[in-house]
Amino acid sequence: VKIGTPKEVFPGEARVAMTPDSALALQKLGYDCAIESGAGMAAGFSDAVYKDAGVEVLETAEALYEAADIIAKVRPPSEEEVARLSGDKTLISFFYPASNEPLMEAAKAQGASVIAMDMVPRISRAQKMDALSSMANIAGYRAVIEAGNNFGRFFTGQVTAAGKVPPAKVLVIGAGVAGLAAIGTSTSLGAITYAFDVRPEVAEQIESMGAEFVFLDFEEESQDGAATGGYAAPSSPEFREKQLEKFRELAPEIDIVITTALIPNRDAPVLWTKDMVEAMKPGSVIVDLAAERGGNCELTVKDEKIVTDNGVTIVGYTDFPSRMATQSSSLYASNIRHMMTDLTPEKDGKVNHNMEDDVIRGATITHAGEITFPPPPPKVQ
């Protein structure tokens, strides 16, 4: 059985779903590996290093899809890519089935099995396959680096012979996986870091990373995170008002805002309004990690970096993991490799697509000619 990885076709995408290291691990599971020529180039992996790792290099995408039984890739497939999944091929990639129904129907019609990496249940046992988390971690780190790159001053305070430099003040809004990574990066660079989340249970994590949790003066404490599987629910209007009031108060003194607030299946909540941007000092930077879903900042322009009239830079890029393609490819390829380990209990190079397994079941969106999305809720937590 052969696992093949094509070059990503999404414009600008630099990641690749198989690395020389992951290929070695896949071969230990009994699989042959193939890659489309040049697929790893933008992530720093040449055809030659794949060859050295025992990977067959095929010249075209067509040849790759023809030869491989299992296709591992990063982005959801294009229509053309789905059309190449004929027979009983298996595709493993991000898919976002809830927003890509026609694509899912097309994959089913081809008779393909599709494992959506974004559907891996977020339970402890599946953490090694949790590509959403591994990519969010990178995005959070990179957001701070990007902010620093657009900020004209140090993060850390310094006393130099030439004078005293105050530390930068960073506010991270939303302390999920990406937010916590941003907080850790910001504090390690020496900035005074504040963080806010609607889930009060993250306060301890925020504080253990050396940042300060921004508490609201609000009696009936927000949502019950446990009731929504650890995800946020929309805030009440009163809570939101308190939150905006607090942010308005902070805006003039904050140098860098990193926003990561998301609510499943909704547009991103707008939390950093135009007047807050206007209240910020010139030279301040906002990096909006929610840009893909409309942005947490009212002025964010998706996929662009803008500078406002009052000199605030707003970064709305949506490709942070791709901007660190070597790292993100290594982690993503490793997530895929762990998925293959679960699919290959006998290490015999044969897929056992066990629909009784919660993780495999949860991530499988088409199988044996059926749509299997959405999955039933997982049995174990």
- Considering only 130, 146, 288, 358, the residue that binds ligand NAD (CB under 6 A) is 130
232 forms part of the interface with ligand NAD (CB under 6 A): yes
Nearer to ligand NAD, 2 or 128 (CB): 128
Only one of the segments 61-69, 107-115, 122-130, 151-159 lies at the binding site for ligand NAD (rule: CB under 6 A); that segment is: 122-130
- CA-based max dimension of the chain: 71
x/- map, 171-190, ligand NAD, by CB under 6 A: --xxxxxxx-----------
Q: Which amino acid is at 56?
A: E
Residue type at 222 in one-letter notation: S
263 binds ligand NAD (CB under 6 A): yes
If the CB atoms of residues 3 and 173 are measured against ligand NAD, the closer one turns out to be 173
State the minimum distance, in angstroms, from the CB of residue 159 to ligand NAD: 35
Query: Cβ closer to ligand NAD: 77 or 362?
Result: 362
- Quick check: bond before 252 cis, omega within 30? no
Which of 230, 252, 311, 374 is close enough to bind ligand NAD by CB under 6 A?
A: 230
DSSP state of 280: S
Query: How many C-beta atoms surround the C-beta of residue 169 within 10 A?
Result: 18
By CB under 6 A, residue 117 contacts ligand NAD? no
Q: What is the DSSP track for 358-370? A: HHHHHHEEEETTE
260 is an interface residue for ligand NAD by CB under 6 A: yes
Q: Which stretch binds ligand NAD (CB under 6 A): 83-91, 182-190, 197-205, 370-378?
A: 197-205
| SS (HEC) of 154-213 | CCCCEEECCEEECCCEEEEECCCHHHHHHHHHHHHCCCEEEEECCCHHHHHHHHHCCCEE
Q: Residue 85 or 177: which CB sits closer to ligand NAD?
A: 177
Query: In Å, how far are 4, 69, 75, 76, 88 from 66, measured between CA atoms?
Result: 10, 8, 19, 19, 12
Query: For residues 191 and 232, which CB has a smaller minimum distance to ligand NAD in the complex?
Result: 232
Residue nearest to ligand NAD (CB): 176
Report yes or no: 295 and 288 within 8 Å, Cβ to Cβ.
yes
Of 139, 152, 215, the closest CA to residue 184 belongs to: 139
Active site residues: 122, 127, 130, 133, 231
* Number of residues binding to ligand NAD, judged by CB under 6 A: 29
Instruction: Scan residues 269-298 and list those touching ligand NAD (CB under 6 A).
Output: 269, 271
Asked whether position 321 contacts ligand NAD by CB under 6 A, the answer is no
Residue type, 151: F
Beta strands in 226-312 (DSSP E): 256-259, 285-288, 305-307
* Stretch binding ligand NAD (CB under 6 A), from 26-34, 59-67, 264-272, 322-330: 264-272
142 near ligand NAD, judged by CB under 6 A: no
Among 55, 12, 54, residue whose Cα is nearest residue 35: 55
The residue among 18 and 182 lying less far from ligand NAD, judged by its C-beta, is: 182
Which range binds ligand NAD by CB under 6 A, 15-23, 42-50, 195-203, 355-363? 195-203
Near ligand NAD by CB under 6 A, which window of 148-156, 157-165, 226-234, 321-329? 226-234
Of the candidates 257, 44, 42, the one whose C-alpha atom is nearest the C-alpha of residue 146 is 257
Residue 91 or 203 having the CB closest to ligand NAD: 203
Owner of token pair 């599987």 = 229
Q: Which of 124, 160, 208, 265 binds ligand NAD (CB under 6 A)?
A: 124
| DSSP annotation string for 308-322 | -TTS-EEE--S-TGG
Among left, alpha and beta (phi > 0; psi -120 to 50; other), residue 31 is: beta
Interface residues with ligand NAD (CB under 6 A) are 122-124, 127, 130, 133, 136, 173-179, 196-199, 230-232, 235, 260-264, 269, 271
